[in-house]
Structure 1
């Protein structure tokens, strides 16, 4: 039976790319019984009947994200605007936790540099992001600044563009690949956030090799799949210190002999990052159990 990759899921159909052919498929009913939901990015086996097909098997995944729902990506381009909407460091840290938990490499892309009037503010944000230990690229879709730097990161990867609404993901992709002509919309001045111009996850094949996913924007993520004793694993600078605390199972809150808190006090870990860690930890402790 033929094999391909799901490049779009819409209205109960899965669109599977097999070479130059795109097949519109349904999923076999057994998936629902087994609790399996095919995702964009999945490599699948399918059978055809005329012009349509049926997905019969989903191959093992190398990675999986819940929001956006996508499989087998190896790189996330986390798109955050410097203005309109304003840069949100806590949300960025939350995205980074989720990409780390999924085992996916992250690249931070700061957009709309042309809208921030104070260059010192750009440098401050840039310095903060680089200090975490991730690649950072500053772009301006209008001025094409940084576009080629982003393109270099995409070649040969299955990448997802993720970020809250209105940060310019679709505008950035349009600047990268003019033939796409993805829909964009201005920021709501009343609400201070963007409209959801991208309504579903879809993979775009790159001429130079690789795939890119444009995804719906969103402004919140939960921690349903992350436990309290795992959280520090997903902060790079904290992970490097694990095992050095006095007590096994240290949550780095108020335990004596904590290496993470000592690093915060010494300025080796950003105090703002540590505060976000504490906020996320409390969110995990306060969450309601799912039955």
Structure 2
């Protein structure tokens, strides 16, 4: 048997890149279906070759991570891409994405694209908020290839998922980082002010040794109902230094007395925009639980 990684899956066929660079079209053993296991893009697998171009997936190695949307295994980190303008940044959507990244315990880079459109200092504002929260933030211009060296340094040796709303330039960044696969670039819909979805399925694109990119479908909402109310606080990185310092151990940091989180918001140590999003997300989670009882 030979070891490889699933780089694409379409219609029950899985395209496995072997360690020597060969790409083999594979079907999965019936055993996986019987065990309710679906091979995922990113899975490290052992295959048995049938001929020079086809094979059978015999074994799936243990996954170290798994994303639901997109359905990808063994992702190491996420690049969250937003445009500085056209479309404007939604801090609510950005924080929703970051909560999902934190829940999966993945490293994260915030990439602010379309730097040429930043005429009102939006980058400095976002940079200040999110570097203080503990994130690495860079700006890029995919069309002018600005900021790509810094981005490539973050990607090296990892499987990286790109995520973000449609129309922010994810596909343009992809096309700037590699020339093996041409991603269709979208345009902003004048009617709704959002990008049109251009990515149809997740796939891995190899750009260097052990360095893969995952392109992901665009989206505008992310469900948080699976998160426990008490756990949400841990997915806001800047809260962590103060958790445990509240008067009440069950504190949810809403309006409780002697709450360390609220005190640090008032003192300017925690960004109020981020805190308000925390409150909105918490209320959404609690409301969902009330409605599903």
Are positions 1:67 and 2:69 aligned together? yes
Shift, 1:125, TM fit? 2.4
**Could you tell me which residue of structure 2 aligns to residue 101 of structure 1?**
103
Partner residue of 2:275? Answer: 274
CA distance in 2, matches of 1:267, 1:185: 39
Which of 92, 95, 101 aligns to 2:94? It is 92
Distance in 1, Cα, partners of 2:186 & 2:97: 23
Cα deviation digits, residues 12-71 of structure 1 (max 9, x gap)? 222111122112222233333433222111111233333432323222111111112211
Is the Cα–Cα contact under 8 Å of residues 68 and 162 in structure 1 kept in the other structure? no
SS in 2 for 1:252: coil
Instruction: Map residues 245-264 of structure 1 onto 2, 5 A cutoff.
Output: 245-264=246-265
Structure 2 gaps, min length 5: none
TM-aligned CA deviation for residue 114 of structure 1: 1.1
Give unpaired runs (5+ residues) of structure 1: none
Offset of residue 203 of structure 1: 0.6
Kindly report the root-mean-square deviation, in angstroms, between the aligned alpha carbons of the 2 structures.
Answer: 1.9
User: Secondary structure, in 3 states, of the residue corresponding to 2:208?
Assistant: coil
Mapped to 2, the partners of 1:208 and 1:6 lie a distance apart of 15
Q: Give the structure 1 partner of residue 238 of structure 2.
A: 237
**Is the CA contact 2:82–2:112 (under 8 Å) kept in the aligned structure 1?**
yes
In 1: Cα distance, 2:122 partner to 2:217 partner: 28
Where in structure 2 are the equivalents of 1:176-215 lying within 5 Å? 176-207=177-208, 209-215=210-216
Structure 2 length normalisation: TM-score?
0.92
Is residue 250–residue 258 contact of structure 1 (8 Å, CA) maintained in 2?
A: yes
**Deviation sequence 1:134-159 (CA, Å, 0-9, x none):** 11110111222211111111111111
Give the stretch that moved more between structures: 122-131 or 35-44: 122-131
Displacement of 1:208: 5.1
Distance in 1 (CA, whole Å) between partners of 2:263 and 2:36 is 45
Aligned length: 290
Greater Cα shift, 102-111 or 17-26: 17-26
Q: Distance in 2 between matches of 1:168 and 1:32?
A: 37
Aligned-pair distance for 1:98?
A: 0.8
Q: Is the 8 A contact 1:67 1:221 kept in 2?
A: no
Residues of 2 paired with 1:284 and 1:13: CA distance?
A: 37
Q: 1:69 to 1:55 in 2, by over 3 A?
A: same
